[in-house]
Chain A
Amino acid sequence: MNETDDRTAANSTVLEVTGLGHSYGKHTVLQGLDFTVAKGEFLCIVGPSGAGKTTLLQCLTGLRKPTEGLVVFEGEAVRDTPRGMAVVFQDYSRSLMPWLRVIDNVALPLRSAGVPKGERLDQARAALAEVGLADSTHAYPWQLSGGMQQRVAIARALAFRPHAIVMDEPFASVDAQTRADLEDLVIRLKERLGITVVLVTHDIDEAVYLADTVLVLSGKPASVAALIPVDLPAPRDQLATKALPAFAELRSRVYTLIRTPAAAAAEPPADESEVAPVSAGAGA
């Protein structure tokens, strides 16, 4: 109920995407994407490999300039990565500096932001404690396991004290158990810190498990096939939540949409609630 209240009461939009499209030369990857993300919402963007998920994410974060349309974050058009937004990249082993200790990796953006040394180390330590790495501050990233390295990357994003975190398939290269732990970590952090999360994944189960709203990306060029509100009870639980009939229903709905977007769009699923502050984009 808490979630529903948040979403209906605070109709404050954090991220607004209008008519977004991107082409690499003549090859159009994304076309006509419209959606919004509300404050404190967990949006999962799910789509098959090669659907343009990473391109979309780069457009959202300002790392790539879309060839069409507009991305607005907290009321301002995104040109480069907005200050209130932090990014967690897919490949942790290549997004952390192997020549910097864990704590210095986390504190680096703060140094560039001009935060004094003592303060930024405190902030970095706090962020590392938040992800359960209080004991590994002085290790080098390559001395840690894959899951721990991704935690470092998450801590680096948190230390930045963002209002929104954008994650590109953050758990794609860790084992199943670690992945489950990291998923729960991200849910917990989002609840505790009240941040907005946009997470890209190709894993339908993961998307349904994590999200308040699942955005299904489908077609070529890719567009929003559907925005599906996920009304699974909180707190989510790896066993209980995934055993719910509603979970199975949602995942088969997403699955169908990814496989046959045209058919699914022909009979749009009845929107049983008003919860999603979104409008389905131009489907096929």
Chain B
Amino acid sequence: MTRTVNKKSQWTHKDLLGLEYLSKEDIELILDTADSFREILDRPIKKVPALRGKTVVNLFYEPSTRTRVSFEIAAKRLSADVINIATETSSVKKGETLNDTGKNIEALKADIIVVRHNCSGAAAMLARHVNISVVNAGDGWHEHPTQGLLDIFTLRKKTGNIKGLNVSIVGDIAHSRVARSNIWGLTKLGANVTVCAPGMLIPPGIENMGIRATEDIGEALSNADAINVLRMQFERDEKGAFPKQMEYFKKFGITDERLEKAKKDIIVMHPGPINRGIEISSKVADGANSVILEQVTNGIAVRMAVLFWLSQAKKGLSK
């Protein structure tokens, strides 16, 4: 796990495993760096040489299009070489272990592994076993730190400052790594966070993370400066215990009618992919308050910043 003493404005972590393990200063350093990288994306020639000669391996044990592509574009904008490895989870248990795969990638002289895995804690374990940098691109229900960072980056760009903002996260909190990363990052930067979901999807003791939890969508929206709408992951519903899709939309769906009662300039975010008509109406998703596509673009800048700082990390940093 990344535990290092952090001097102001200096990156000292070998890995990015979660926002839980970063300081406020670490997060701000990435956001500031992402700010300067963001402009590159609008240039006619979208490439800088910062990571020339470095190799980034995307190691994905779960299907993912947007995160994988976003990391790939981020690495390429920095002139790194990118290799994509997609593996079925089932073969992990039968064949090579994650640790062995990681060590092989290290032996191939890659510099950074970006790993997506269905098991919580998998990225941290991999990071303990290799000396090269590991970026957690989502581990189970645990964390998805670059998503958290890009959500916060987008919010900061829109509002100027995170401190004091009221941010509500709505949806399947229990099974969401996006929720956890947002909670850690936002609370460290001084936002007031509320999570809102049907009771069964609010995990026990979540208030201990320094936030509020409610089952009342009206309450979650009433004073919010921003809301982050999570995708309902019906595929997680092994016991048929979740509310049905239409029922969920009726009770928790983000619609025009609901937004009318919220702050006029409320910012609507979604980590994607969106289920139109289930957690969010098309009108809201495509409406004036939505920043969903900006999030996607900002994601590249944030991931560029992460890859940049990890590639700067001195060799031999404590893991």
Partners in one complex: no
